[in-house]
């Protein structure tokens, strides 16, 4: 058996099971990351509320899911919960596990991004009679989003790699599809090279999309700064 076989590599590159696994990896990454962003933002907002209970909840939530390996969480959801009478499908366990595992990292990003917006802008907006929801939407959120986009973009790459762990609960994504193929033809080197190239390609495409979004968001941030500046000017005139 030769070390490298180009015919096997080219065959694996367009193998339907590999392409299906790649698509599963992509949509699973996007869906679970979006859910994690929604959940993580809610957790961050709860943590931002002044109060011992809310702070303890936030700190406990983040500490628990960051300290527990994702592999353990996935196996617990799929294999241990049935003993408690809760049965999840492979897809349900994968989505829930990836979402909860990612949400504390998103929560920390959102919390730190909101904290980076100067408190003076909140105070100035409240002084001219703006409602909290309006302040968040028009002034604080655009500025926090500009700060949060780069680390959130990095979380996509991390989540993309995390999807390979759902193979342990028998979900067929890119890695498991690759593993199934190697068990059929015993050509591990070529199949894993194909999987690596696809992971690199998805990461490269995401990096380009993120850079384009950051450039567009910079204009949005400039508009938000103008609004904040006009509020400060208005407040100074009133005084």
CA distances from 33 to 91, 113, 152 (A): 15, 18, 9
- Confidence band for 219, pLDDT divided at 50, 70 and 90: low
Q: Is the CATH number of domain 6-234 3.40.50.10300?
A: no
Span 12-29, pLDDT tens digits: 999 999 999 999 999 999
Helix (H) or strand (E) holding 140: none
Report the distance separating Cα 206 and Cα 77, nearest Å.
30
pLDDT of 216 strictly over 90: no
Mean pLDDT, range 91-101, rounded to an integer: 97
Span 138-181, pLDDT tens digits: 778 878 888 898 899 899 999 999 999 999 999 999 999 999 99
Count other Cβ atoms within 10 Å, centred on residue 177: 22
Mean pLDDT, range 215-227, rounded to an integer: 63
pLDDT of res. 204? 96
Helix axes 188-238, 119-127, angle to 10 degrees: 40
pLDDT of 232 strictly over 60: no
pLDDT of res. 182? 93
User: Number of C-alpha atoms within 13 angstroms, CB side, residue 214?
Assistant: 14
Is this prediction's pTM over 0.75?
Answer: yes
Mean pLDDT, range 38-44, rounded to an integer: 95
Q: What would the two tokens of residue 49 be?
A: 């509320």
pLDDT of 201 strictly over 60: yes
Q: What would the two tokens of residue 217 be?
A: 């968001």
Mean pLDDT, range 28-38, rounded to an integer: 97
Mean pLDDT, range 115-134, rounded to an integer: 78
- Confidence band for 230, pLDDT divided at 50, 70 and 90: low
DSSP 171: -
Q: Which long-range contacts (CB under 8 A, 24 or more apart) does 56-63 make?
A: 58/107, 58/111, 61/104, 61/107, 62/104, 62/107, 62/108
Residue pair 177/139 in contact (Cβ under 8 Å)? The answer is: no
Separation of CA 124 from chain center: 33
The sign of the torsion formed by the CA atoms of 67, 207, 196, 92 equals: positive
Span 55-77, pLDDT tens digits: 999 999 999 999 999 999 999 99
- Confidence band for 129, pLDDT divided at 50, 70 and 90: confident
- Confidence band for 228, pLDDT divided at 50, 70 and 90: low
Report the distance separating Cα 133 and Cα 174, nearest Å.
42
Per-domain boundaries in the chain: 6-234
Counting every residue written for the chain, the total comes to 239
Report the distance separating Cα 209 and Cα 197, nearest Å.
18
Report the distance separating Cα 221 and Cα 239, nearest Å.
27
If you average pLDDT over every residue of the chain, what do you get? 89
pLDDT of res. 135? 79
Mean pLDDT, range 197-201, rounded to an integer: 97
């Amino acid at each position: 058996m030769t070390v490298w076989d180009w015919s096997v590599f080219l065959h694996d590159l367009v193998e339907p099971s590999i392409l299906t696994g790649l698509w599963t990896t992509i949509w699973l990454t996007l869906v679970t990351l979006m859910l994690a962003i929604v959940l993580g933002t809610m957790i961050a907002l709860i943590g931002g509320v002044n109060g011992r209970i809310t702070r303890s909840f936030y700190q406990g939530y983040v500490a628990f899911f960051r300290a527990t390996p994702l592999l353990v969480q996935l196996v617990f959801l799929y294999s241990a919960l049935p003993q408690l009478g809760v049965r999840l499908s492979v897809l349900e366990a994968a989505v829930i596990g990836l979402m909860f595992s990612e949400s504390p990292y998103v929560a920390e990003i959102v919390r730190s991004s909101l904290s980076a917006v100067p408190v003076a802008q909140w105070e100035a907006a409240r002084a001219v009679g703006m409602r909290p929801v309006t302040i968040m939407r028009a002034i604080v959120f655009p500025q926090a989003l500009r700060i949060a986009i780069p680390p959130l973009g990095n979380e996509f790459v991390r989540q993309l790699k995390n999807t390979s762990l759902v193979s342990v609960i028998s979900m067929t994504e890119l890695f498991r599809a690759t593993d199934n193929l190697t068990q059929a033809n015993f050509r591990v080197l070529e199949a894993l090279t194909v999987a690596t190239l696809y992971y690199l390609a998805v990461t490269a495409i995401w990096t380009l999309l993120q850079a384009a979004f950051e450039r567009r968001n910079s204009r949005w941030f400039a508009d938000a700064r103008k609004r904040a500046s006009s509020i400060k000017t208005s407040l100074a005139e009133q005084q």
